[in-house]
Chain A
Amino acid sequence: EAQVTQNPRYLITVTGKKLTVTCSQNMNHEYMSWYRQDPGLGLRQIYYSMNVEVTDKGDVPEGYKVSRKEKRNFPLILESPSPNQTSLYFCASISGAGPSSTDTQYFGPGTRLTVL
């Protein structure tokens, strides 16, 4: 089954304690992204990656890092989390082959992060 998985699904942590949210896709997709969802703001892109070792900032990258060492994995790293990073996080992937009825953006189930 084609899917994007994220772990953990729920996380409560404290300010300053480094954490990593993993994201993995099984569709051999080139493109992967991280978004955060906040009430009244919709989803905003944090980082994206076009392929292995190719990443770039989205609209709200401050306080986050990413890496793409393997095609299937795209972890999101918060080196020193702060309360304003409390949010719902989504990983997404797409093949990028071109707009068509079959090239669809797949979203993971989300990770709800609370930073105290």
Chain B
Amino acid sequence: AQSVTQPDIHITVSEGASLELRCNYSYGATPYLFWYVQSPGQGLQLLLKYFSGDTLVQGIKGFEAEFKRSQSSFNLRKPSVHWSDAAEYFCAVGTPMEYGNKLVFGAGTILRVKS
């Protein structure tokens, strides 16, 4: 069964600084990979997703993520963080066999932005 690890529970960055949130997955083949953001008291919003092809994926709000098969990672990056990016971020993995049925989520990383 697939699994997802987000090693950082909390991350604090200064406004304007770059950001990288880590995500490692466990799955025997190429998974489908997702990053979601949840603002306080809100639902989940999809930032970006990877199915195949170019391993560098561009998303909304200036985010990007890179799939690295050799490291089983799908880290999320942003070159310059804004105060409005403060939220909780979830990495999730799906599989071709279970497409549509299931996503497995990491525990989440809470991002704090200091001015």
Could you say which residues of chain A place their CB within 8 Å of the CB of B100? 30-31, 50, 94-96
| Mask of A39-68 contacts with B, CB within 8 angstroms, 1/0 | 011111100101000001010000000000
Could you say which residues of chain A place their CB within 8 Å of the CB of B44? 43, 90, 107
Question: Whole-angstrom distance from the CB of A28 to the nearest CB of chain B?
Answer: 14
* Nearest A-chain residue to B52, judged by Cβ: A99
Question: Whole-angstrom distance from the CB of A33 to the nearest CB of chain B?
Answer: 7
B contact residues, total (Cβ < 8 Å)? 25
| Mask of A84-98 contacts with B, CB within 8 angstroms, 1/0 | 000000100011101
Secondary structure dominating the interface of B: loop
Could you say which residues of chain B place their CB within 8 Å of the CB of A43? 44, 90, 92, 103, 105
For this complex, into which size category does the number of interface residues on chain A fall?
20 to 34
A99 touches B99 (CB 8 A): yes
Is B107 at the interface (CB under 8 A from chain A)? yes
Within 8 A of A (CB), among B71-115: 90, 92, 96, 99-108
Could you say which residues of chain A place their CB within 8 Å of the CB of B90? 42-43
Within 8 A of A (CB), among B31-70: 32, 34, 42-44, 46, 49, 51-52
* Nearest B-chain residue to A48, judged by Cβ: B101
* Nearest A-chain residue to B100, judged by Cβ: A96
Is B9 at the interface (CB under 8 A from chain A)? yes
Known: A104-B46, A107-B44. A48 touches B102 (CB 8 A): yes
Known: A45-B103, A99-B51. A105 touches B46 (CB 8 A): yes
- B residues adjacent to A (C-beta < 8 A): 4, 6, 9, 32, 34, 42-44, 46, 49, 51-52, 90, 92, 96, 99-108
Can you list 19 contacts pairing A with B, beta carbon distance less than 8 Å? A30-B100, A40-B108, A42-B105, A42-B107, A43-B90, A43-B92, A43-B103, A44-B105, A48-B102, A56-B101, A90-B43, A96-B100, A99-B32, A99-B96, A99-B99, A105-B34, A105-B46, A105-B103, A107-B43
- A residues adjacent to B (C-beta < 8 A): 30-31, 33, 35, 40-45, 48, 50, 56, 58, 90, 94-96, 98-100, 104-105, 107-110
